């Protein structure tokens, strides 16, 4: 009882910290000011001409459409995108030994899963609005509300995962036991949808771009600013409530455990 109470108290602290992080995120995103791509580029050029490259940096929010000369092609859905992440999981059966009610050793079968492949990649792109365009570097960005392109389980007993043009033979380390099938999942940052980009526009790497900088996260989302902020606020509220319940429960169990 005492151990359970301590675990719940630790969980409550962790949830409270996470709730505060979401609250700060909502405030940061809410305070972002919508800027015109053309104005940002013009200001960056003026500062660079006056002080030299590497001196311009400003917080900004941009909204527009994606322009990508050489988009990535997602491995599973074969969709053009600026970012993708994919995972292939194998579901299989394995035998194991246990004891029955009489203490006799018996063999049974259980179902297990293992991840056999993961992959993700990103490429730089331009965000275009009516005033011009700005380079966006998604490296280390917080990618919000990605588009789910694949979420499918396919039954198969074959020692190879195959989905469209994607094919992955199992290695010796993963071939054991009877394969039941493969779960395929993929999410992308599409190039055919409007995006919201919130972060810092600077020329620290030479070419002016929206990019991740220390202490100022870059958020790239297929949702509007209001939708992102409301989502963060809702998550903060839910985590706070759960943290409160866990804290009260943990405190009661700790007291009861100490008294017992």
Per-residue tokens: 124: 């730089």
Place of tokens 């939708």: 227
Residue 219 has what pLDDT? 95
pLDDT digits (tens, 9 = 90+) for 127-172: 999 999 999 999 999 999 999 999 999 999 999 999 999 999 987 6
Distance between CA atoms of residues 185 and 161, nearest Å? 13
- Which residues of 164-235 form beta strands (DSSP E)? 166-169, 178-190, 195-202, 209-211, 219-221
Overall pTM surpassing 0.95 (yes/no) = no
Tokens of 141: 């960005």
Looking at residues 215-230, what average pLDDT do you find? 90
- CA–CA separation, 91 and 255 (whole Å): 43
Residue owning tokens 């790497």: 205
**Which stretches does DSSP call E strand in the chain?**
57-67, 72-73, 80-99, 105-122, 125-129, 132-136, 142-144, 147-155, 160-163, 166-169, 178-190, 195-202, 209-211, 219-221
> How high is the pLDDT of residue 195?
95
Residue 28 has pLDDT above 90, yes or no: no
Q: What are phi and psi of 98, to 5 degrees?
A: -145, 180
Non-local CB neighbours of 118 within 8 Å, separated by 6+ positions: 85, 86, 87, 88
Q: What is the mean pLDDT of the chain?
A: 90
Model pLDDT, residue 48: 81
Q: What is the mean pLDDT of the segment spanning 230-257?
A: 87
Taking each helix axis from N to C end, the angle separating 2-30 and 225-259, rounded to the nearest 10 degrees, works out to: 160
Mean pLDDT of 224-234: 88
pLDDT of 102 reads 85
Task: Specify the pLDDT at position 174.
Answer: 62
pLDDT band at 175; cut points 50, 70, 90: low
Share of the chain above pLDDT 70, in %: 98
Taking residues 192-197, report their average pLDDT.
91
Distance CA 145, CA 254 (A): 40
What would the pLDDT profile of 88-129 be if each residue is shown by its tens digit?
A: 999 999 888 898 888 889 988 899 999 999 999 999 999 999
Q: What is the CA radius of gyration of the chain?
A: 25
How far, in Å, CA of 189 to CA of 220, rounded?
9
Q: What is the dihedral of CA 23, 25, 26, 28, to 10 degrees?
A: 120
């Amino acid at each position: 009882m005492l151990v359970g109470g301590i675990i719940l108290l630790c969980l409550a602290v962790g949830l409270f910290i996470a709730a505060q992080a979401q609250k700060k995120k909502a405030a940061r995103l809410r305070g972002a000011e919508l800027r015109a791509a053309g104005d940002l580029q013009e200001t960056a050029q003026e500062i660079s001409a006056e002080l030299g490259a590497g001196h311009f940096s400003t917080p900004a929010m941009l909204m527009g459409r994606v322009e990508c000369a050489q988009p990535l092609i997602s491995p599973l859905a074969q969709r053009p995108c600026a970012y993708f992440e994919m995972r292939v999981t194998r579901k299989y059966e394995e035998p194991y030994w246990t004891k029955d009610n009489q203490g006799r050793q018996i063999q049974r079968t259980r179902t297990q899963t293992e991840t056999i492949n993961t992959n993700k990649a990103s490429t730089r792109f331009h965000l275009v609005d009516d005033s011009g365009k700005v380079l966006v570097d998604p490296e280390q960005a917080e990618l919000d509300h990605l588009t789910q392109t694949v979420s499918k389980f396919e039954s198969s007993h074959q020692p190879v995962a195959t989905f469209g043009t994607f094919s992955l033979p199992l290695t010796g380390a993963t071939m054991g036991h009877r394969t039941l099938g493969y779960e395929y999942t993929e999410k992308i940052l599409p190039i055919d949808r409007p995006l919201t980009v919130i972060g810092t526009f600077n020329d620290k790497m030479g070419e002016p771009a929206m990019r991740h900088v220390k202490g100022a996260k870059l958020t790239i989302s297929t949702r509007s600013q209001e939708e992102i902020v409301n989502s963060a606020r809702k998550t903060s509220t839910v985590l706070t409530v759960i943290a409160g319940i866990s804290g009260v429960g943990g405190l009661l169990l700790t007291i009861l455990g100490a008294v017992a």
